[in-house]
Amino acid sequence: MANYVITGSASGIGAASRRKLESDGHTVIGVDVADTDVVADLSTPGGRSAAAAAVDEASGGVVHGLVCCAGLGPLSRLPGGKLVAVNFFGAVDLVTALKPALERARNASVVVISSSSTTTQPGIPENLTTACLDDDEAEAVRIGDEVTAIPAYPASKLALAWWIRREAVRAEWIGKGIRLNAIAPGMIDTPMTSGADPELAKALDFYPMPLGRRGRPDEIAALIEFLLGPGSTLFCGSVVFADGGTDAQLRQQDWPAAWIPTTDELTRHFKANT
């Protein structure tokens, strides 16, 4: 049985994942701002290092899987900068800080929660995803505050998905037996979406769900357990959409996208593989 760490374990998808993994006999160390094993605020660098130190101690320095669920939703009242600090930096800094413990487990798995808003919400501020991927937290927070939480949300989740794809294939991750993958849920019934935010409620009313209903947290928990476990060893840098058909309906032939490389991309590709 494995040692798993779940951030955002006190609510919604994180709490459902904890229940599922524990009922299957695994040990779970929860991280959240309250009501869990490791109480830490992942919006600050200090909170993230305190969380990593506490997890290291609680796990005996061996973590078989890390699930980053902690996040703030696109609520009009929230500062966009704080949302970016939690959703992007709170995830990637913790993944990075726990790398030695993941490496010790051999064949570890990391699952982060991105979002289907990455491909379905128009007007994502590109400078915000760039600042995240450049690891410039001060600039990302500044832009997040400027653009506000509603556009900052998909930008933070797009940067997270791209970070996973960029890092997953590097020798320092997959070469050390650590698989990095992301899930992009559609609309899931949790406190994040059932809150009384009028602007979010308006947007969610228009959100197409061919399945005909919202997702349930346990449906995402089942996918998380699969991506953590031995059945998913070929998954590396995947962004798995679990959205009841939203992305397929809105963007049928945008994905899979054919690779039509420029000369520069071809050169980079051959250099990386020789």
Residues labelled catalytic: 153
Binder among 30, 65, 71, 125 for ligand NAD (CB under 6 A) = 71
Residue 219 makes CB contacts below 8 A (sequence gap 6+) with 188, 242
First to last CA, the chain: 39
- Output the smallest distance, CB 36 to ligand NAD, in A: 8
Contact 74, 123 (CB under 8 A): no
Q: Quick check: 146 binds ligand NAD (CB under 6 A)?
A: no
- Tell me which H or E stretch contains 54: helix 45-59
Distance of CA 154 to the CA centre of its chain: 11
Q: Which is nearer to ligand NAD, 102 or 112 (CB)?
A: 112
Binder among 3, 193, 232, 246 for ligand NAD (CB under 6 A) = 193
Q: Site map for ligand NAD, 94-133, x if CB under 6 A?
A: -------------------x-x------------------
Residue 208 makes CB contacts below 8 A (sequence gap 6+) with 245, 246, 249, 250
Q: Which is nearer to ligand NAD, 7 or 119 (CB)?
A: 7
Q: Which is nearer to ligand NAD, 71 or 237 (CB)?
A: 71
Q: Which is nearer to ligand NAD, 109 or 156 (CB)?
A: 156
Place of tokens 């032939």: 253
- Output the smallest distance, CB 87 to ligand NAD, in A: 6
Binder among 144, 151, 185, 244 for ligand NAD (CB under 6 A) = 185
The token pair at 174 is 């997959």
Dihedral sign for Cα atoms in the order 273, 96, 37, 82: negative
Q: Quick check: 17 binds ligand NAD (CB under 6 A)?
A: no
Q: Quick check: 32 binds ligand NAD (CB under 6 A)?
A: yes
- Output the smallest distance, CB 242 to ligand NAD, in A: 9
Contact 53, 29 (CB under 8 A): no
DSSP code of 35? S
- Output the smallest distance, CB 154 to ligand NAD, in A: 10
Nearest partner of 107 among 241, 24, 227, judged by Cα: 227
Binder among 6, 13, 161, 178 for ligand NAD (CB under 6 A) = 13
CA atoms within 13 A of residue 128's CA, in its CB half-sphere = 31
Q: Site map for ligand NAD, 200-239, x if CB under 6 A?
A: ----------------------------------------
Question: How many residues sit in the footprint of ligand NAD (CB under 6 A)?
Answer: 28
Place of tokens 């308006």: 202
Contact 226, 262 (CB under 8 A): no
Contact 54, 38 (CB under 8 A): yes
Sole window of 20-28, 64-72, 140-148, 174-182 interacting with ligand NAD (rule: CB under 6 A): 64-72
Residues forming the site for ligand NAD (CB under 6 A): 7-8, 10-14, 32-33, 41-43, 69-73, 86, 90, 113, 115, 185, 187-188, 190-193
